[in-house]
Amino acid sequence: MTRSSEGLSPQLHAYIVDHSTPVDSVLTDLVEETARLFPDHKGMQIGPEQGVFTTLLTRICGAREIVEVGTFTGYSSLCFARGLPDDGRLLALDISEEWTSVARRYWERAGVADKITLRIGPALESLRELPEEPRFDLAFLDADKEGYVDYWEELVPRVRPGGLILADNTLSHGRVVDTTNTSPAVQGIRDFNRRLVEDDRVTQVLLPLGDGLTLARKD
Ligand SMILES: C[S@@+](CC[C@H](N)C(=O)[O-])C[C@H]1O[C@@H](n2cnc3c(N)ncnc32)[C@H](O)[C@@H]1O
């Protein structure tokens, strides 16, 4: 796994990061601590350029209510929360107490903890417990890839018209175009990408940012 943008040389990736708003010491420390505590999972965090992009996007669209599916140690949630206004809220969904306990510490340190509500449990159940009302301005999908289509079907009705849905890893490290790869995770992403093309409720683009970041607008 990598936290670089798919298909870019390390030099070009470094150049992009160096010419975007710098990553601060809170996020740098979070990356280092995650790598130290969970070396087998450190690649699960979104990349630095994706982090800046999500903060910017949150501000550009004026989001006040965000839902995140897949929080891990908190990198992406911290970036979204930083883009929210003071009274903005982010609902973070994850299944792991252990991983999100790190997130909680970094949300405190970054001064965004009061904007974030964490719900532990299978995210599909947590989403289905929410009223089917168009409440969210922005949704971020970054959990188990086999579940992406099901998450999508729960998210779309809960995002307001004009709201955005972002989904990470939609290139699956290039494996989406490797027809010999039939792993459930890769197939889950292919099914998701195809579902969006067929879904006339949204306009979307698959951006080659990080490991593929799909940006969809509910029309
Ligand atoms: C790729 S990581 C998320 C990375 C995070 N967005 C970041 O930038 O640091 C995927 C997360 O999804 C969570 N997850 C996996 N299956 C889940 C499920 N069924 N319900 C809720 N969370 C789940 C995992 O615990 C893990 O923290």
Mean pLDDT by 10 residues, the chain (219 residues): 75 94 97 97 95 98 98 98 98 98 98 98 98 98 98 98 98 96 98 98 97 97
The C-alpha atoms of residue 190 and residue 212 are separated, in whole angstroms, by 12
pLDDT, one tens digit per residue, over 152-170 is 999 999 999 999 999 999 9
Domain 10-218 fold is Rossmann fold (3.40.50)
**Residue ranges per structural domain of the chain:** 10-218
* Mutation to probe ligand 1, out of 76, 95, 106, 154 (largest number of atoms < 8 A from CB): 95
* pLDDT for residue 7: 80
Report the separation in Å between the CA atom of 94 and the middle of ligand 1, taken as the mean of its atom positions. Answer: 6
Nearest CA to ligand 1 atom 22: 94
Burial tier of 146 (Cβ tally within 10 Å: 0-12, 13-18, 19+): middle
The C-alpha atoms of residue 117 and residue 11 are separated, in whole angstroms, by 38
* pLDDT for residue 5: 76
Ligand 1, atom nearest to 44 Cα? 1
pLDDT, one tens digit per residue, over 77-105 is 999 999 999 999 999 999 999 999 999 99
**Average pLDDT value for the chain:** 96
Quick check: CB of 43 below 6 Å from ligand 1? no
Quick check: CB of 94 below 6 Å from ligand 1? yes
